[in-house]
Structure 1
Amino acid sequence: MTEATEHLAGNRIWTFRTPRARLALWAGWLGLVALFVFCWQVMTRGTIWAFVWDAPTQARDIFGRMFPPALAYVPELMVPLWDTLNMATLGTMLGVAMAVPVAFLAARNTSPAPRLLRPVAMFVVVASRSINALIWALLLVAILGPGLLAGIIAIALRSIGFIGKLLYEAIEETDARQVEAVTATGASRAQVVGYAIVPQVLPTFWGITVFRWDINIRESAILGLVGAGGLGLKLQASLNTLAWPQVTMILIVILGTVVVSEGISAKVRRALI
């Protein structure tokens, strides 16, 4: 922002912006409004507005059918719930096993070949973060067939980017003085990493792992929609048969699981960090 002066009857009058700045500001707002209108037209080009106006009525009808929840359906959800937890846990463990070496290769201060290996590691991180777990599951179900294995691998592939990015940033932010002190003792490169870098990033590593496990529980709950097993498979079956009370019960179980996992991960992170 700039201040402009105008001369009027020999007096200097201060204005907040120059006329040119005000014109540019109004042109910017006009361009933003025009862009919004254009995007709105593109997004609503195929919209059937009769369905939109009828949406509140349909929503009331569906929510009316969803209550009361089917409490008798809870015993059938215990095995899928266990599968969902196993999918998230095993997927997180596999993702961590693959993400740790990627993170050390991506960090500038630990990569053995920054010009060669670091771009490859960064590509792995970006590729993993760019593809949603649901899309990974779709691809893996087509390759491996339906089941928990596809879900576990999908969770792992999605976790590599998240864990790898946060971990390599933590590695790059380590205190260089500790590295120099260990190096001065004549330690090898592996010893420098083990005694100067790993102890500094270990609390962050555990915090990232627990946080990702919490996220993976939420993602595992819906991977069954594409055939990866767990609660999502039951949800898909209930939706296909229009068993709305069962849908409500499944959503309640998913919500309860997420709340409990959030509490556990928060306590573990506070204890570790």
Structure 2
Amino acid sequence: MPVLETEGGAVWRKRTTGQAMARWAMWLLGVAIFIWCWQRISDATTWFFVWDAPEIAGDILGRATPPRWSYINTLWEPLWDTLNIATLGTLAALVMAVPVAFLAARNTTPSALFVRPIALLIIVSTRSINSLIWALLLIAIIGPGVFAGIVAIAIRSIGFCAKLLYEAIEEIDRTQVEAITATGASRMQVMAYGIVPQIAPAFAGIAVFRWDINIRESTVLGLVGAGGIGLQLQASMNTLAWPQVSLILLVILAAVVVSEWVSAKVRGAII
């Protein structure tokens, strides 16, 4: 800690003059960047619509109230498709994420120089692209529908599941693995009896957590044509059927709340 010499003696200071000036310079730079960014945003914004937004929102809310409850029977099948997209996509992702995780973990990869970087590349690349973008690409390749949504959810989930799983693999108790290895067990036996039992709770928690996230993501995939209840939402918005839109949003909210409750109960039972 710097000391400032004065006539009355030494005075302790938290920072030197140079450090204080550097700190103020960083603050000044941050304020300048903020002002510049705000200016760019302001120039690209039509403020008339912003000031008029509360009135427009109130008008839409009035048109959407009350919800069209008679439309509920049309939503059961799309809601079921949404649940299938989330569930099957999560299962497919877990099947692909497990080997990727073992290849990415330092203590299980067959080659830290060649194989591990490829596994990490798969994890990063699948996590970096949003599921909506994957859905748009897959619709162009395999056509619109539920299958495109399942594949989009699966690809998006691989990196998430594999990253958390390979971190759990790297944090296992090595003494248990060493004890099984000392018995003369093969590599597969060590993995089956020394590693898998230790990561099983983490794997179950990751699976349930990702399924909960995928329920949310699958509700909007229909907006780009990947099936599910989002398709009904898009159709209702295109026809300005606001009572149907409000009902669909309530159904989506209920589905998300139920999935959150189920995932919390399952995680609580696992932990």
- TM-score when normalising by structure 1: 0.96
**Corresponding residue to 1:188 among 186, 189, 212:** 186
Listed one character per residue, the Cα deviations across residues 151-182 of structure 1 (whole Å, up to 9, x for unaligned) are 00000001100100000000010000001000
CA distance in 2, matches of 1:18, 1:83: 63
Listed one character per residue, the Cα deviations across residues 56-87 of structure 1 (whole Å, up to 9, x for unaligned) are 11111111211111111111100000000011
Q: Relative to structure 2, which stretch is displaced further, 186-195 or 23-32?
A: 23-32
Q: Any unmatched runs of 5+ in structure 1?
A: none
SS in structure 2 at match of 1:245: helix
Q: Relative to structure 2, which stretch is displaced further, 134-143 or 45-54?
A: 45-54
SS in structure 2 at match of 1:44: helix
Q: Tell me the amino acid that sits aligned with residue 124 of structure 1.
A: I
Q: Tell me the amino acid that sits aligned with residue 164 of structure 1.
A: A
Aligned to 1:271: 269
CA distance in 2, matches of 1:11, 1:112: 64
Tell me how far 1:33 sits from its aligned partner: 0.2
Tell me how far 1:17 sits from its aligned partner: 3.0
Aligned to 1:7: 6
Q: Any unmatched runs of 5+ in structure 2?
A: none
Aligned to 1:110: 108
Aligned to 1:168: 166
**Corresponding residue to 1:151 among 127, 131, 149:** 149
CA distance in 2, matches of 1:214, 1:63: 29
Listed one character per residue, the Cα deviations across residues 98-119 of structure 1 (whole Å, up to 9, x for unaligned) are 1111001111111112211111
Aligned to 1:259: 257
Aligned to 1:177: 175
Q: Tell me the amino acid that sits aligned with residue 100 of structure 1.
A: V
Listed one character per residue, the Cα deviations across residues 112-149 of structure 1 (whole Å, up to 9, x for unaligned) are 12211111110000001000010000000111111000
Aligned to 2:77: 79
Listed one character per residue, the Cα deviations across residues 181-231 of structure 1 (whole Å, up to 9, x for unaligned) are 000001111111111000000010011001101111111110000001110
Aligned to 2:240: 242
Q: Relative to structure 2, which stretch is displaced further, 204-213 or 39-48?
A: 39-48
Listed one character per residue, the Cα deviations across residues 24-70 of structure 1 (whole Å, up to 9, x for unaligned) are 22111111100111121223332111111111111111112111111
Aligned to 1:218: 216
Aligned to 1:69: 67
CA contact (8 A) 2:67 2:243 kept: yes
Q: Tell me the amino acid that sits aligned with residue 43 of structure 2.
A: R
Percent of matched pairs sharing the same residue = 63
Q: Tell me the amino acid that sits aligned with residue 187 of structure 1.
A: A
SS in structure 2 at match of 1:79: helix
Inter-CA distance 118–13: structure 2 relative to 1 (3 Å threshold) = closer
CA distance in 2, matches of 1:15, 1:116: 51
SS in structure 2 at match of 1:40: helix
Alignment of 1:50 with 2:32, yes or no, is: no
Q: Tell me the amino acid that sits aligned with residue 103 of structure 2.
A: L
Kindly report the root-mean-square deviation, in angstroms, between the aligned alpha carbons of the 2 structures: 1.1
CA distance in 1, matches of 2:180, 2:76: 51
Alignment of 1:228 with 2:229, yes or no, is: no
Q: Tell me the amino acid that sits aligned with residue 52 of structure 1.
A: V
Q: Tell me the amino acid that sits aligned with residue 4 of structure 2.
A: T
Q: Relative to structure 2, which stretch is displaced further, 120-129 or 35-44?
A: 35-44
Tell me how far 1:13 sits from its aligned partner: 3.2
What is the aligned residue count? Answer: 271
Tell me how far 1:19 sits from its aligned partner: 2.4
CA distance in 2, matches of 1:22, 1:115: 44
Q: Relative to structure 2, which stretch is displaced further, 203-212 or 64-73?
A: 64-73
Q: Tell me the amino acid that sits aligned with residue 87 of structure 2.
A: T
SS in structure 2 at match of 1:186: coil
CA distance in 1, matches of 2:3, 2:68: 69
